[in-house]
Chain A
Amino acid sequence: MIVIVDYQKGNIKSVERGLASAGADVRVTPAADGIREADGIVLPGVGAFADAMATLEETGQADAIRDAVAAGVPFLGICLGMHLMYEAGEEHAEGAPTRGLGLLPGVVGRMPAQDVEGRAYKVPHVGWNTVHVTDAGAQGLFAGIPQDEYFYFTHSYVAPEGEATCGRTAHSVTFPSACARGRAFGVQFHPEKSSDAGAALLANFVRLTKER
């Protein structure tokens, strides 16, 4: 059973539908206990890092996720859910960064509105862009999906580079659009809104949860 963590950050329905059509038994729950019983965990979400993290901590969801991931339960963070996997997130300019789930090192920061040569780019980064997958990524979450396939993005913040990066996308900067460490995965784009390629990716995740 795959649990979608419900923390009031929108758009759970499409994720639920996507996983179900990939053959998963899906349960949507806000309960930390439910997360602890899962064979797979999906953390969706759009919106603000600090807000989301506050909810996850208050409800005990954050610790349940940390424990499950440490025990090797497959995890997929989508969009904001990927950001939350990192140590911390810069929300707005003011104040210290907010602590994240800490599954991966580094701080999520704002996407610059210019490239290194000073050319202007639109932020939020909205629309369909390609993902260039590393060799490791191509064997896991992206198995069977063509290199440089288009996925749907909508975000203003980007995850930090690191060893976990397994897919990259270029806008004003080239940023990690997919990450993996062990059986914990994150994607910056929305597979549930990304047509056939997105459906294939969700099916790969569902398959991983069944391999335990």
Chain B
Amino acid sequence: MLAKRVIPCLDVKDGRVVKGVNFVGLRDAGDPIELARRYDEERADEVIFLDITATSDERSTVVDLASRASAELHLPYTVGGGFRSVDDIRQMIAAGADKVSVNSAAVKDPSLITVAARAFGTQAILVAIDAKRVPGAGDKWEVYTAGGRNATGLDAVAWASEAAKRGAGEILLTSMDRDGSREGFDCALTRAVARAVDIPVIASGGVGCLEHFAEGVIEGEADAVLAASVFHFGELSIRDVKEDMAARGIPVRM
């Protein structure tokens, strides 16, 4: 049976992990590859590197990161952030990235998904969606771009469906309301998107404790659960999370 995935996310700026890392035993806690190797050894199912520099002159740093990752990791990894064109994506895939994650550029020009999926296969294209609940509108969420700065007017569930139709292989869904809150995933949002698309959905944003991971899968119906700081600060290990999920009847790869 297909296992539900546990995915640590590394925010990278100028080639260094940001959001603080407090892992004991790392020689260089700011080196994304060293941290990812640690997660590889702990049997994380994948890792995602999100480049938050995202200015065009820094691209070479990220390409270099992807290239080092392919030489040193034994698990699949995704690189996200700052893709503007199919050429940007091609460069990253050529450097060895298994998947790329596109966000603002896909909203601006949805045909980017179609073209990229045709060129590299749907499995290589994640569409990342940052969504925020519309106040007073019940279960409705709006898509934001540019790292949450720009409201788009797009409905998150409708946009996820369109992305899937255009050839996205997975949806990486972040609740902006929950991100950093430690209150758990927005399971209503995750479930609404998971039911609307027939591709896997990765839940992101809000994990604060062990139970939240299982909630994302059971209540949110997510195919994979993502977190950053609870892992980076060593509050929870990948093993803790998988043991808890397994105890609740969720198939995981131990």
Contacts and interface: CB of A to CB of B under 8 A. Distances in A.
Given A14-B70, A152-B76, A195-B43, A124 B3 contact: no
Contacts, number: 91
A124 B76 contact: no
A212 interface: no
**Interface majority SS on A: helix, strand, loop or mixed?**
mixed
Q: Binding site of B, secondary structure by majority: helix, strand, loop or mixed?
A: loop
Contacts of B70: 11, 13-14, 17
Interface residues of B, number: 32
A126 B70 CA distance: 19
A128 B253 contact: yes
B35 interface: no
B198 interface: yes
A14 B211 CA distance: 35
Contact of A129 (B3, B76, B122, B170): B3
A204 to B, nearest CB: 16
A122 B198 contact: yes
Contacts of B198: 113, 120, 122-123
B123 interface: yes
B74 interface: yes
Interface string B91-125: 00110101000000000000000000010111110
A48 B76 contact: no
Interface of B: 1-5, 40, 43, 45, 67, 70-71, 74-76, 93-94, 96, 98, 118, 120-124, 169-170, 198-200, 223-224, 253
Interface of A: 10-11, 13-14, 17-18, 46-48, 113, 120, 122-130, 150, 152-156, 170-171, 190, 192-196, 198-199
Given A46-B121, A122-B199, A198-B74, 13 more contacts: A11-B70, A113-B198, A124-B122, A124-B170, A126-B200, A127-B223, A128-B45, A129-B1, A150-B253, A152-B76, A154-B76, A195-B74, A199-B74
